[in-house]
């Protein structure tokens, strides 16, 4: 290129001399262009690594390239990052990432003088969060100089999050990926994974707000998660505050499963075996207090709702509950005494309880022999009140329940356990001391003003009965099941009835008065007054022995004696009907109550009955009318003086 002519060249020199900043600016532009084209940003890896180490107190390495794309939005990229873990951890690395991208708006940064990152993108991050003696590994050391820059947007691609709380045998491993949210809200994250909670395996899936919300532990962090642990299922939606500490949250929690007993290894709440359940309510925590409030749901075929508080800060966890049922299916309570709900059409149960019910049916026994779990009775304290407005109990005249139960240091008490029965009340006060290897049990049961007819609802004749029945039972026993407790029981059992009325046909049949029975069967039944009835038993080593047993009407008095074995569940009673009127065709044979509780038998003493029958046949061979002499009852029965105080 030819040099400028002399005059033009001198004018350019003069302009440059008059405007030196043009020369400087041009030189800087050229230098910047050359620097951008030739600069190796990896020269800054060392300073960046050292700065992160100072801020976090952890090792930090950039194993790949460091690159910067300058512009109105400047992008900083770094590959193969690795952040060290706390010194107390057995894992050397807390976090890694295949790539990190920071997008910065330099002009906005200069204008506001606040460090703001427009976007942080992570590809293939793998983060380990764990607790130990040193606290949480997310609590960084270092001098903490300066405030970290605010991040407007976070995007995670193919991430992995692990949480470990070895002290509580809890670990979680989740796949994490960002998903676009509606509107201008930050992208949420989808999570899917599994782990162990308190030693029990579970799976987890759902969504949560952007992890950027975790920067401020006072901001509510919204989640919508579903978890499955065995047969237990939970759906939590709501807010967490400082979620890694799990100290404060407010969630709507739906929980369902086959058996409430399965919650013990998960949350430490000990319950008896139950049929399948489902609840939904507000679940919150403040410090060491957990609350499940306003929940509603079902257990088996019963509805159940109320408020539960679980406090974990004391020597033992304390469960407080106020529960209510509009309709309670009575056999859903069977697990409280080691039994099982009825199985069959229309009944709700689970496999374990169904197997137990079928085994019980085959065994021929009535009292449950399933042992109580001592460790669980000792695992927590409790104060529970449960009311049921209506009780469904086919075959039993139970209409309501009011139960108060406490557990303190391994001692369980019901005071009271109150049932509405046959128009009256049955009240039980039970104390079970499980502090030793064998449970010591003391029970006092009182029954008052129960309608006689309603106590025998399956008998058409008994439905015509009128009268009030009551009693007192006081027993003490040792054993880890209801059957074992009763088999060793000592105490007293007394039942009684005041004045009333009962079917005359029933009484005549009890005395085997053939003529009177036929007369009423042909001409119709009628009722006769009942003066009173009374049974008094002494109980020793599981054997009930009669002290007094009588049923007194204007027509007949039945007196009895014998034993009832609570250990073998058998009856051995002899009942002697003594008609008070003169009647033809009367067979004055005692009645024998025998068999088992599940299959009882009431029959005449056929040996004595056979002797009277033979005598009648012998007299009849001489003169047929003489045979009637053997069946004439001259009415030796006397009025009994038993009391009816239990009817009041």
Q: Is the dihedral of CA 349, 353, 357, 362 positive or negative?
A: positive
For the stretch 286-313, pLDDT in tens is: 878 999 999 999 999 999 999 999 998 8
- Residue 519 backbone zone (phi > 0: left; psi -120 to 50: alpha; other: beta): alpha
pLDDT > 90 in the chain, percent: 38
Is residue 556 domain-resident? yes
Question: What residues have CB less than 8 Å from 390, skipping those under 6 apart?
Answer: 326, 327, 328, 399, 400
Average of per-residue pLDDT across 69-76: 85
Q: Note whether 197 and 264 are within 8 A (CB).
A: no
Is residue 622 domain-resident? yes
Residue 71 has pLDDT above 50, yes or no: yes
DSSP-assigned letter for residue 639: -
This prediction has a pTM of 0.76
Q: Note whether 182 and 209 are within 8 A (CB).
A: no
Pairing state of beta strands 381-388 and 318-325? parallel
Is residue 222 domain-resident? no
For the stretch 327-360, pLDDT in tens is: 999 888 888 888 877 777 778 888 888 888 788 7
pLDDT > 70 in the chain, percent: 75
The C-alpha atoms of residue 593 and residue 590 are separated, in whole angstroms, by: 10
Count the domains in the chain.
1
The C-alpha atoms of residue 114 and residue 110 are separated, in whole angstroms, by: 8
Is residue 535 domain-resident? yes
DSSP 577-627: EEESS-BSSB--PPEEEEEBSSSEEEEE-HHHHHHHHHHHHHHHHH-GGGG
Q: Which of 402, 388, 509, 506 is nearest to 452 (CA)?
A: 506
Residue 17 has pLDDT above 50, yes or no: no
The C-alpha atoms of residue 170 and residue 609 are separated, in whole angstroms, by: 74
Is residue 445 domain-resident? no
Is residue 597 domain-resident? yes
Mean pLDDT of the chain, nearest integer: 80
- 630 or 56, greater pLDDT: 56
Is residue 373 domain-resident? no
Q: For residue 124, what pLDDT is reported?
A: 95
Is residue 426 domain-resident? no
Can you give the residue range of the structural domain that contains 547?
Answer: 497-505+513-647
Q: Note whether 330 and 396 are within 8 A (CB).
A: yes
Q: Note whether 132 and 88 are within 8 A (CB).
A: yes
CA 633 to chain centre: 63
């Amino acid at each position: 290129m030819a040099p400028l002519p002399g005059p033009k060249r001198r004018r350019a020199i003069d302009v440059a001399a008059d405007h030196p900043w043009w020369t400087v600016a041009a030189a800087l532009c050229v230098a910047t262009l050359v620097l951008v084209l030739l600069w190796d940003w990896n020269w800054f890896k060392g300073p960046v690594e050292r700065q992160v180490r100072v801020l976090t107190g952890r090792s930090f390495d950039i194993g790949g390239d460091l690159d910067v794309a300058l512009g109105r939005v400047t992008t900083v990229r770094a590959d193969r990052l690795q952040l060290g873990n706390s010194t107390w951890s057995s894992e050397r690395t807390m976090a890694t990432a295949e790539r990190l991208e920071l997008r910065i708006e330099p002009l906005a940064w200069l204008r506001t003088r606040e460090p703001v990152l427009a976007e942080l993108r992570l590809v293939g991050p793998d983060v380990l969060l764990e607790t130990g003696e040193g606290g949480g590994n997310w609590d960084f050391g270092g001098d903490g100089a300066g405030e970290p820059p605010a991040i407007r947007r976070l995007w995670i691609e193919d991430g992995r999050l692990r949480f470990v709380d070895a002290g509580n045998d809890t670990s979680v491993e989740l796949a994490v990926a960002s998903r676009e949210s509606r509107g201008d809200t930050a992208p949420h994250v989808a999570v899917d994974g599994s782990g162990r909670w308190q030693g029990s395996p579970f799976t987890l899936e759902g969504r949560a707000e952007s992890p950027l919300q975790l920067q401020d532990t006072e901001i509510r962090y919204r989640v919508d998660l579903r978890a499955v642990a065995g047969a237990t299922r939970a759906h939590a939606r709501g807010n967490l505050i400082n979620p890694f500490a799990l100290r404060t949250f407010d969630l709507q929690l739906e929980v369902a499963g086959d058996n409430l007993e399965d919650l013990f290894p998960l949350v430490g709440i000990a319950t008896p075996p139950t049929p399948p359940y489902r609840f939904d309510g507000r679940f919150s925590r403040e410090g060491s207090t957990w609350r499940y409030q306003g929940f509603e749901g079902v257990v088996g075929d019963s509805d159940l709702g109320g408020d539960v508080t679980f406090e974990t800060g004391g020597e033992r966890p304390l469960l407080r509950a106020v529960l209510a049922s509009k309709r309670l299916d009575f056999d859903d309570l069977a697990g409280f005494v080691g039994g099982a709900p009825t199985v069959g059409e229309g009944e709700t149960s689970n496999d374990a309880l169904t197997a137990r019910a079928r085994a019980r049916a085959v065994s021929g026994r009535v009292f449950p022999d399933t042992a109580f779990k001592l460790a669980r009775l000792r695992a927590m304290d409790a104060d529970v009140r449960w009311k049921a407005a209506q009780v469904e109990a086919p075959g039993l005249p139970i209409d309501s329940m009011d139960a108060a139960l406490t557990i303190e240091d391994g001692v369980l008490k019901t005071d009271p356990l109150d049932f509405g029965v046959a128009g009256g009340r049955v009240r039980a006060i039970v104390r079970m001391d499980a502090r030793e290897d064998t449970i010591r049990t003391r029970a006092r049961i009182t029954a008052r003003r129960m309608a006689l007819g309603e106590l025998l609802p399956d008998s058409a004749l008994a439905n015509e009965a009128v009268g009030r029945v009551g009693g007192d039972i006081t027993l003490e026993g040792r054993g880890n099941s209801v059957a074992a407790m009763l088999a060793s029981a000592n105490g007293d059992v007394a039942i009684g009835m005041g004045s009333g009325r009962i079917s005359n046909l029933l009484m005549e049949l009890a005395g085997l008065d053939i003529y009177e029975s036929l007369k009423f069967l042909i001409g119709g039944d009628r009722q006769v007054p009942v003066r009173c009835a009374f049974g008094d038993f002494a109980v020793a080593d599981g054997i009930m022995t009669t002290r007094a047993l009588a049923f007194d009407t204007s027509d007949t008095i039945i007196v009895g004696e014998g034993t009832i074995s609570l250990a073998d569940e058998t009856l051995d009673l002899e009942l002697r009907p003594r008609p008070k009127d003169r009647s033809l065709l009367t067979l004055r044979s005692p009645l024998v109550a025998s068999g088992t509780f599940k299959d009882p038998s009431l029959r005449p003493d056929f040996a004595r009955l056979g002797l009277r029958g033979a005598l009648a046949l012998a007299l009849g061979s001489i003169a047929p009318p003489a045979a009637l002499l053997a069946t004439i009852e001259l009415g030796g029965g006397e009025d009994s003086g038993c009391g009816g105080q239990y009817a009041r």
